[in-house]
């Protein structure tokens, strides 16, 4: 399927067409390597570009998930499409393409899908009846398919050990995965170093390396008796929120501005006692954000390139409120990339943090970033509004490694 000129147009032009009122589309921007933006080319985009329904067989979109160098799309019909890098089978397509620049239908999902998630090199989908399917890189068991499973799985595979378990939500990190069942049980699997699985994994005896991998989903024991409602997986850490709005974090935690000190990890879930009751959590490369019940946004962790949005690049060892426009209007959604962050406030999207990147296909010294959607490669240490012109509201936001995607509705 080719992306036509009609399916790759500017927001300004599209918003003048009343015929698109009520349509839900994807907008993408940032690094364009390997076609992760789905725009039919390898070009980076400094401002949002949209993919309308003709790129998805005229289906309206429900959800977007940005991974390391690939992107997943979920349509209202429950179909999943994928674009970008496919070096580990993370696109879930039937042929052996190393990458694609246009969205392709993911093969082998037998039922309607209701939720998707994209990790650095792996992907997942949850069906309407709560079955979990995973595909992509499996070097550390992050697909949950068992110890004998292949290290690369190019087509969606059902996580058979969860037969009879209804999965409600999943989140994928760099090499690990976390999920929540309909009973509020938290599960995790994959690479366990730094304590990111919450199972108490620590360093090897006398410093010798040992495998901390979990090859099938495992209940997080320290959260037994706690009804979890949402989870998030970052690069080396994870977080979750329970039904009462309490936030728990586990994995690597910031010690110094330039990185993480060895041994300074939290191997089991730790309650963030100073936070107000919260609704949503997101984990990035080395930072975390939460949205409270009242729509306040807090962030903490390393603050490279200003990804915390607190007006500086200083590390935050404890949660700090992100101010600016969020003092006047409530935040409803947040997403964290490696070193950038995006949030929805009202109907608008705000971004901050790392604004540039060096693309694989770019010339030496040429930035191919733009993941903030501000039209440049400048880092911003405070939230900045993304210009979508008129007649559009943002419904969902997703930050990848160095690209960003959103679901928009025209009104």
Q: C-alpha angle 242/245/247, rounded to 5°?
A: 70
Distance CA 55, CA 75 (A): 11
Q: What pLDDT is attached to residue 12? A: 52
| Cα within 13 Å of Cα(317), Cβ side | 5
CA distances from 17 to 26, 100, 285, 410, 411 (A): 16, 29, 39, 10, 11
The single residue listed with the structure tokens 């296909």 is 361
Distance CA 150, CA 135 (A): 10
Q: What pLDDT is attached to residue 86? A: 97
Order of all β-strands in the sheet with 340-345? 331-336, 340-345, 348-353, 380-385
Cα of 363 vs its chain's centroid, Å: 28
Distance CA 100, CA 106 (A): 12
Cα of 24 vs its chain's centroid, Å: 19
Q: What pLDDT is attached to residue 95? A: 80
Distance CA 282, CA 142 (A): 19
Q: What pLDDT is attached to residue 389? A: 74
DSSP-H helix ranges across 46-98? none
pTM to 2 decimal places: 0.92
SS3 category, 322: coil
Distance CA 189, CA 140 (A): 9
DSSP element (H, E) containing 11: helix 11-14
pLDDT per residue as tens, the chain (411 positions): 444 444 455 555 544 444 567 889 999 999 999 999 999 999 999 999 999 788 999 999 999 999 999 999 999 999 999 999 999 999 999 888 999 999 999 999 999 999 999 999 999 999 999 999 999 999 999 999 999 999 999 999 999 999 999 999 999 999 999 999 999 999 999 999 999 999 986 554 444 445 689 999 999 999 999 999 999 999 999 999 999 999 999 999 743 333 334 447 899 999 998 899 999 999 999 999 999 999 999 999 999 999 999 999 999 999 999 999 999 999 999 999 999 999 999 999 999 999 986 544 445 545 568 999 999 989 999 999 999 877 899 999 999 999 999 999 988
Length of the chain: 411
Order of all β-strands in the sheet with 186-190? 167-172, 176-181, 186-190, 214-219
Distance CA 405, CA 86 (A): 18
At 314, list the tokens.
Answer: 């200083």
Torsion of CA 60, 66, 72, 74, to 10 degrees: -30
176 φ, ψ (degrees, to nearest 5): -145, 165
């Amino acid at each position: 399927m080719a992306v036509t000129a009609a399916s790759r147009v500017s927001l300004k032009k599209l918003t003048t067409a009343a015929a698109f009122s009520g349509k839900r589309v994807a907008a993408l921007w940032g690094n364009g390597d390997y076609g992760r933006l789905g725009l039919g080319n390898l070009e980076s985009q400094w401002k949002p570009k949209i993919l309308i329904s003709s790129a998805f067989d005229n289906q309206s979109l429900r959800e977007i998930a940005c991974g390391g160098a690939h992107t997943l799309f979920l349509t209202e019909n429950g179909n999943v499409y994928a674009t970008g890098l496919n070096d580990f089978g993370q696109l879930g397509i039937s042929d052996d393409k190393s990458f694609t620049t246009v969205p392709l239908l993911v093969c082998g999902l037998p039922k309607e899908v209701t939720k998707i998630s994209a990790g650095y090199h792996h992907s997942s989908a949850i069906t309407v009846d709560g079955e979990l399917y995973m595909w992509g890189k499996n070097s550390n068991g992050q697909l949950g398919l068992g110890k004998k499973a292949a290290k690369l799985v190019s087509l969606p595979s059902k996580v058979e050990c969860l037969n009879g378990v209804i999965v409600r939500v999943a989140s994928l990190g760099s090499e690990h995965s976390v999920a929540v069942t309909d009973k509020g049980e938290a599960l995790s699997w994959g690479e366990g170093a730094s304590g990111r699985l919450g199972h108490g994994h620590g360093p090897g005896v006398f410093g010798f390396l040992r495998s901390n991998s979990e090859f099938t989903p495992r209940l997080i024991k320290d959260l037994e008796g706690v009804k979890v409602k949402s989870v998030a997986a970052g690069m080396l850490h994870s977080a979750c929120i329970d039904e009462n709005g309490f936030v728990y974090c586990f994995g690597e935690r910031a010690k110094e501005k330039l990185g993480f000190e060895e041994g300074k990890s939290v191997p089991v879930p730790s309650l963030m006692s100073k936070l107000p009751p919260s609704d949503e959590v997101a984990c990035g490369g080395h930072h975390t954000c939460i949205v409270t019940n009242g729509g306040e946004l807090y962030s903490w962790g390393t603050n490279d390139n200003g990804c915390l949005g607190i007006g500086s690049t200083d590390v935050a060892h404890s949660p700090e409120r992100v101010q600016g426009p969020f003092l006047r209007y409530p935040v409803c959604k947040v997403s964290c990339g490696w070193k950038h962050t995006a949030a929805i406030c009202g109907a608008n999207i705000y971004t901050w943090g790392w604004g540039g990147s060096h693309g694989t296909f770019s010339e030496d010294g040429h930035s191919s970033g733009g993941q903030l959607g501000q039209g440049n490669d400048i880092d911003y240490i405070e939230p900045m509004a993304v210009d979508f012109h008129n007649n559009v509201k943002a419904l969902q936001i997703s930050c990848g490694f160095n690209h960003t995607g959103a679901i928009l509705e025209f009104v």
